[in-house]
Amino acid sequence: MCGIIGYVGNKPAAPLLLQGLARLEYRGYDSAGLAVADWGGLTVCKRQGRLAVLEEAVKGLHLPQTVGIGHTRWATHGRPSDGNAHPHVSESGLFAVVHNGIIENYASLRRELEADGVVFRSDTDTEVVAHLLEQVYDGDVKTAVFTVLSRLTGAYALGILCADRPGELFAVCKASPLVIGVGAEEQFIASDVTALLPYTRQVIWPAEGDVVRLTASDCILWDATGQPVCRQAEQVMMEAMAADKGEFPHFMLKEIMEQPAALEATLAPHLTDTGVRLEELEGLFADWRQVHRLVIVACGSAYHAGTAAKYQLERLTGLPTEVDLASEFRYREPPLNPYTLVVVVSQSGETADTLAALREAKRRGAPVVAVVNVAGSTIARESDRVLHTQAGPEVAVATTKGYTTQVAMLGLFAVWLAHKRGSLSAVQGTSLLHALQALPAVAARALEQPHLCRLAEKLARQEQVYFIGRNTDYAVALEAALKLKEISYIHAEAYAAGELKHGTISLIEEGTPVVALACHRGLQQKLLSNIREVTARGAQVVTVTTEEQAPLFAEEGEVLILPDTPPLTAAVVEAIPMQLFAYYVAKARGCDIDKPRNLAKSVTVE
């Protein structure tokens, strides 16, 4: 959360900082700010609200300075306000700081500084860094930075300006993402490589604890012990993210519609005429029959993708498969060994809890495979092996194509692993291969939902919606409920259909909407009974099912019909109309769909 950007070069910094912030705004949008430096000192402008408010404020200023830092905030300490917006400046205006992460010991540092007479202007944890820098500074910024770092605990990526050094930009990263962009006579820092792509593709990933000093022509790094260190620049192959929504009113709708192409790009490189190829994983185990357990670890929608995959992995490979929330896994002391394969799943590749879970798994001796969308992200770099989803950049805060490509990649993995372990018959293998080959086209058909908009408008005034399902339908119910609540602010809950009667059914009353996900072959009769249990109590039911099974549900209220799809790919096909449903409900309620309140795209604090 929070995006930081920095520039030093020969061009005016402010417009470049604003452009960079526009590409980072998905990380937080409570407030935004920038600071620029020249021999006249530091100039700071910051505003509560979206970036557009800052852009408006900056219009009236003359800002020719060629070095600067910028920030877009997702509030952790202190509510959104002008005062709590970054950059934070030391008392005499000598240092300006932008920060992504959390300074965990800020309260004791603040008490200490206040006892020394320092007056704080914000409620943030970050402000202590600016004051500490000024307190220890004796003319050498590098030494001041290292002295201050030795006092901080927590996670931080920092961008630092010093009014005494207006041609220099300092940065630090510890447990928070930061990348350096190397240009011709200009250098950048950013929280995310996508912010740099319009300017340079040469990047350096600082290591944990590195301190960086950038000038227009030079980049110097010191490792955490203060020793000069050389880190190789790498060429980034990604395409710059599309800056506009094209014909679409929202990025979310654009990204929903892009799913057939994203699925094709994710699957095609791994499908041959005869089977599934995952060269990235070859050699991780000499014999894949040595694996005795799988643990999938992720957060949010990625956790739901893992939940859907669990059913397929157990069914196809016979391996016990657990799915855990990264925030729980990292602190629960899970028993792991070299034969437990841990699979971490993350669109951004920067989610703090998932990254910590990855590190914990490695510390406990388990090999880690990552399913990641953003190439070069921290999770991709730290995992033993990486399976790259090819969703392309996802801008809308609520994930859509990120999630479905994760499910597709995990499906590929399930088939590949089953083959490696000899648990698939030739006939099964061929039919699974056909399912994967057909998925992009079936996903395209799932997008065609002429009645969905009307249905969404009908339900848009409800206060609560329940989603029920069994097996992978339950996994999709979890994702459908999350999508609806995060963008429409309607209270939505997902239940394993058989579980509802163990308590929650008491909430069902006349008119309560229940969406029954009923695509899983073999459990339709069971689900039908669960539907009857809620209709008997007055629920208005919408059933989502396939062409093949639709006749069974014809009497059960509204029915949304999807193309037939086998269990391996059902969680992708079924999720698509649920994304559209959430989108249309949020639209009917006038919500800010691409940037829902309180959220940020990349959750880099725990």
Two tokens at 571? Answer: 């969680």
Identify which of residues 265 and 484 has a Cβ nearer to ligand F6R in the complex.
484
Identify which of residues 103 and 379 has a Cβ nearer to ligand F6R in the complex.
379
The answer to whether 475 touches 301, Cβ cutoff 8 Å, is: no
Going by C-alpha positions, the residue among 551, 552, 553, 549 that lies closest to residue 563 is: 549
Min dist. Cβ of residue 483 to ligand F6R (A) = 6
Min dist. Cβ of residue 283 to ligand F6R (A) = 26
Verify whether residue 230 is a known catalytic residue.
no
Min dist. Cβ of residue 601 to ligand F6R (A) = 7
Partnered with residue 31 across adjacent β-strands are 48, 73
Query: Which amino acid type is present at position 435?
Result: A
Going by C-alpha positions, the residue among 561, 508, 560, 553 that lies closest to residue 535 is: 508
Identify which of residues 26 and 288 has a Cβ nearer to ligand F6R in the complex.
26
- Measuring CA to CA, how many Å separate 235 from each of 230, 328, 380? 16, 36, 16
Going by C-alpha positions, the residue among 173, 154, 194, 237 that lies closest to residue 348 is: 194
Min dist. Cβ of residue 207 to ligand F6R (A) = 22
What is the phi/psi pair of residue 557, to 5°? Answer: 75, -145
Identify which of residues 48 and 399 has a Cβ nearer to ligand F6R in the complex.
399
Min dist. Cβ of residue 302 to ligand F6R (A) = 4
Identify which of residues 20 and 300 has a Cβ nearer to ligand F6R in the complex.
300
Identify which of residues 424 and 482 has a Cβ nearer to ligand F6R in the complex.
482
* Whole-angstrom distance, CA of residue 594 vs CA of residue 597: 10
Query: What SS3 string covers 524-592?
Result: HHHHHHHHHHHHCCCCEEEEEEECCCHHHHCCCCEEEEECCCCHHHHHHHHHHHHHHHHHHHHHHCCCC
Identify which of residues 27 and 420 has a Cβ nearer to ligand F6R in the complex.
27
Given the residues 46, 174, 420, 601, select the one marked as catalytic: 601
Query: Which amino acid type is present at position 40?
Result: G
Given the residues 2, 45, 173, 519, select the one marked as catalytic: 2
Min dist. Cβ of residue 583 to ligand F6R (A) = 12
Min dist. Cβ of residue 240 to ligand F6R (A) = 20
Going by C-alpha positions, the residue among 157, 233, 141, 153 that lies closest to residue 4 is: 157
Q: Can you state the angle between helices 401-420 and 426-446, rounded to 10 degrees? A: 170
* Whole-angstrom distance, CA of residue 449 vs CA of residue 445: 8
Q: How many CB atoms lie within 10 A of CB 598?
A: 9
The whole-angstrom distance between residue 109's C-alpha and the CA centroid of its chain comes to 31
DSSP H/E element including 475: helix 472-488
* Whole-angstrom distance, CA of residue 238 vs CA of residue 206: 19
Q: Can you state the angle between helices 127-136 and 106-115, rounded to 10 degrees? A: 50
The answer to whether 131 touches 119, Cβ cutoff 8 Å, is: no
Min dist. Cβ of residue 354 to ligand F6R (A) = 5
What is the phi/psi pair of residue 582, to 5°? Answer: -60, -40
* Whole-angstrom distance, CA of residue 402 vs CA of residue 407: 9
Min dist. Cβ of residue 368 to ligand F6R (A) = 14
Identify which of residues 396 and 456 has a Cβ nearer to ligand F6R in the complex.
396
Query: Which amino acid type is present at position 9?
Result: G
Min dist. Cβ of residue 479 to ligand F6R (A) = 8
Q: Which residue has the tokens 């200009």?
A: 186
Identify which of residues 378 and 545 has a Cβ nearer to ligand F6R in the complex.
378
DSSP state of 271: B
Binding site for ligand F6R (CB under 6 A): 299-302, 346-348, 351, 354, 398-399, 482, 486, 603
Going by C-alpha positions, the residue among 257, 283, 243, 302 that lies closest to residue 475 is: 302
* Whole-angstrom distance, CA of residue 68 vs CA of residue 16: 9
Q: Which residue has the tokens 């099912």?
A: 545
Q: How does strand 234-235 pair with strand 228-229?
A: unpaired
Two tokens at 73? Answer: 């905030």
Identify which of residues 187 and 347 has a Cβ nearer to ligand F6R in the complex.
347
Verify whether residue 601 is a known catalytic residue.
yes
Active-site residues, by number, are 2, 601
